[in-house]
């Protein structure tokens, strides 16, 4: 298919609804504008539709009604391979193939040289831990990455995203299962992935998104409110409750 011309990574959702097969709608009438080079965070009760929005933007599913646009073009008119080139999607269950670490990272950019793969690993702080694996970059990770810990798998997936260097980065609960020691490393690596990008993040810990340009609060498939952390603390009851619950668990931890 002929690629379409895309000059920016502005994303707009217009009256988007989505239901999975014939079930009840997971999203109802979502209108949202995500400017280029901004960080937009999605928060809200589990099952409210946060991941559904990011999956529709990534083209994993088609909207039931409405339109998702990238730089003004309906994403259904953009060839899937081109859409994929524009988006790096990092989730809590990143899939690693039963290949070497080197090849798993190279999937971010199949034409990359070995040196480019090493550089991506250096850029996100993975190089040393990979060298310490049994066969370094030539260690075979096992189906779904079974030979590595969750944190190690996650860091290899981040190196893949660094190598891909896509203009849009989607982080779907990307640090959900990470222990504290790995989390600091992963937060640092993430900072490299998202620098200068259009970033969409779904966060389970509100403290990681207080600096976002825009926080979108989603419940029962609808946008309840959107704004900065400070705005929402004064204007949105649901966000206030979530923040209080977050701070309470932090005191306990």
Tens of pLDDT, residues 63-88: 999 999 999 999 999 999 999 999 99
User: Is 165 among the domain residues?
Assistant: yes
User: What pLDDT shows up at residue 11?
Assistant: 98
User: Is 201 among the domain residues?
Assistant: yes
**Number of separate domains in the chain:** 1
User: Is 249 among the domain residues?
Assistant: no
Beta partners for 215?
A: 41, 227
Encoding tokens for residue 84? Answer: 């994929």
User: Is 105 among the domain residues?
Assistant: yes
CB-CB contact of 198 with 117 (8 Å): no
Strands 11-19 and 65-70: antiparallel
Instruction: Tell me the pLDDT tens digit for each residue of 188-227.
Output: 777 878 889 999 999 877 888 899 999 999 999 999 999 9
User: Is 227 among the domain residues?
Assistant: no
Instruction: Tell me the pLDDT tens digit for each residue of 131-182.
Output: 999 899 999 987 655 678 777 888 888 899 999 999 999 988 766 666 667 6
What mean pLDDT is predicted for residues 49-63?
93
Instruction: Tell me the pLDDT tens digit for each residue of 14-53.
Output: 999 999 876 788 999 999 999 999 999 999 998 899 999 9
SS3 137: helix
User: Is 246 among the domain residues?
Assistant: no
User: Is 250 among the domain residues?
Assistant: no
| Angle formed by the axes of helices 180-194 and 150-164, nearest 10° | 10
What mean pLDDT is predicted for residues 58-62?
93
Q: Return the number of other C-beta atoms located less than 10 Å from residue 36's C-beta.
A: 14
CB-CB contact of 41 with 226 (8 Å): no
Residue 95 sits in which domain range? 11-221
User: What pLDDT shows up at residue 251?
Assistant: 66
User: Is 228 among the domain residues?
Assistant: no
Residue 155, domain CATH: 3.40.50.300
Distance CA 230, CA 232 (A): 6
Q: DSSP state, 19?
A: E
């Amino acid at each position: 298919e002929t690629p379409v011309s895309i000059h920016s990574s502005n994303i707009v959702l217009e009256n988007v609804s989505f239901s999975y097969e014939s079930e009840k709608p997971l999203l109802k009438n979502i209108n949202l504008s995500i400017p280029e080079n901004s960080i937009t965070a999605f928060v809200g009760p589990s099952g409210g539709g946060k991941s559904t929005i990011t999956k529709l933007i990534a083209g994993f599913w088609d909207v039931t009604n409405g339109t998702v646009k990238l730089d003004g073009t309906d994403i259904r008119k953009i060839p899937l391979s081109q859409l994929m080139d524009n988006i790096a999607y990092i989730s809590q269950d990143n899939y690693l193939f039963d290949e070497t670490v080197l090849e798993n990272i190279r999937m971010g950019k199949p034409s990359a040289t070995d040196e480019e793969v090493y550089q991506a690993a250096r850029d996100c702080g993975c190089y040393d831990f990979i060298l310490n694996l049994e066969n370094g970059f030539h260690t075979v990770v096992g189906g779904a990455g079974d030979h590595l810990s969750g944190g190690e798998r996650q860091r290899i997936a981040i190196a893949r995203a660094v190598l891909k260097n896509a203009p849009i980065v989607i982080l779907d609960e990307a640090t959900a299962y990470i222990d504290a020691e790995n989390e600091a490393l992963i937060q640092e690596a993430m900072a490299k992935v998202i620098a200068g990008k259009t970033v969409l993040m779904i966060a389970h810990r509100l403290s990681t998104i207080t600096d976002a340009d825009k926080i979108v609060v989603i419940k029962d498939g609808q946008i309840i409110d959107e704004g900065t952390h400070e705005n929402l603390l004064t204007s949105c009851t649901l966000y206030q409750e979530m923040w209080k619950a977050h701070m309470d668990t932090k005191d306990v931890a």
